[in-house]
């Protein structure tokens, strides 16, 4: 039983109204050291067996075709939840 984690963020140059709302609220709470906030989303995809390269490739396809809107969002990582973070990140 394995888990693939997919992180999706609004493209850097696209306005993120949710993030803007959060940064505004932080200021009102006097947590003003945070100058900007961007809010994305995380998906966890469960598979019956191990997270193989094949599974990761399929997860990436899912991420790019369904889980994200390629016009305004980027898939920032597709990775095995159990693997050590370093070296396993498939950032693109």
Partner 1 sequence: MSNLPAYKCDTVDIASQDPQAEQPWAELGLKSDEYQQIREILDRRPTSAELAMYSVMWSEHCSYKSSKVHLRQFGDKTTDEMKEKLLVGIGENAGVVDIGDGWAVTFKIESHNHPSYIEPHQGAATGIGGIVRDIMSMGARPLAVMDPLRFGALDHPDTARVLPGIVSGVGTYGNSLGLPNIGGEINFDSCYQGNPLVNALCVGSMRTEDIHLANATGVGNLIVLFGSKTGGDGIGGVSVLASETFDSTGPAKRPAVQVGDPFAEKVLIECCLDLYAADVVAGIQDLGGAGLSCATSELASNGDGGMQIHLDRVPLRDPSLSPEEILMSESQERMMAVVEPGKLEAFMEIAAKWDVEASVLGEVTDGENLEVFWGDDLLVQVPPRSVAHDGPVYQRPLERPAYLDDLQADGTAHLNRPRTGDDLARTVLDLIASPNMCDASWVTDQYDRYVRGNTAQAMPDDAGVVRVDEETGRGVALSTDCNPRFTKLDPYAGSQLALAEAYRNVAVAGAAPLAVSDCLNFGSPEDPGVMWQFSEAVTALADGCAVLGIPVTGGNVSFYNQTGDIAIHPTPVVAVLGVLDDVAKRNRSGWAHAQDAIYLLGETRDELDGSAWAEVAHSHLGGLPPTVDLAAEQTLASAILAATDQGLITSAHDLSDGGLAAGLAESVLRHGVGASVDLSPVASRDGVDAFVALLSESTARAIASISASDAEAFEAVLSDKGQAFARIGTTGGDHLKVEGQFTLAIEDLRSAHTGVIESAMSH
Q: Applying CB under 8 A, does 91 fall inside the site for partner 1?
A: no
Question: Does 72 sit near partner 1 (CB under 8 A)?
Answer: yes
Q: Binding to partner 1 by residue 1, rule CB under 8 A? A: no
Produce one character per residue of 12-41: b if its CB has 16 or more CB atoms within 10 Å, e if not. Answer: eeeebeebeebbeeeeeeeeeeeeeeeebe
Considering only residues 8 to 67 of the shown chain, the ones binding partner 1 according to CB under 8 A are 10-17, 20-21, 24
Contacting residues toward partner 1, per CB under 8 A: 10-17, 20-21, 24, 69, 71-72
């Amino acid at each position: 039983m394995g888990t693939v984690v997919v992180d999706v963020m609004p493209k850097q140059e696209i306005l993120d109204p949710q993030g803007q709302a959060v940064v505004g609220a932080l200021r009102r709470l006097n947590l003003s050291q945070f100058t900007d906030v961007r809010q994305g989303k995380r998906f966890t995809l469960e598979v019956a067996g191990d997270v193989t390269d094949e599974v990761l490739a399929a997860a990436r396809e899912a991420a790019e075709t369904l889980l994200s809107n390629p016009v305004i969002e980027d898939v920032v990582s597709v990775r095995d939840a159990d693997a050590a973070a370093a070296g396993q990140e498939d950032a693109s």
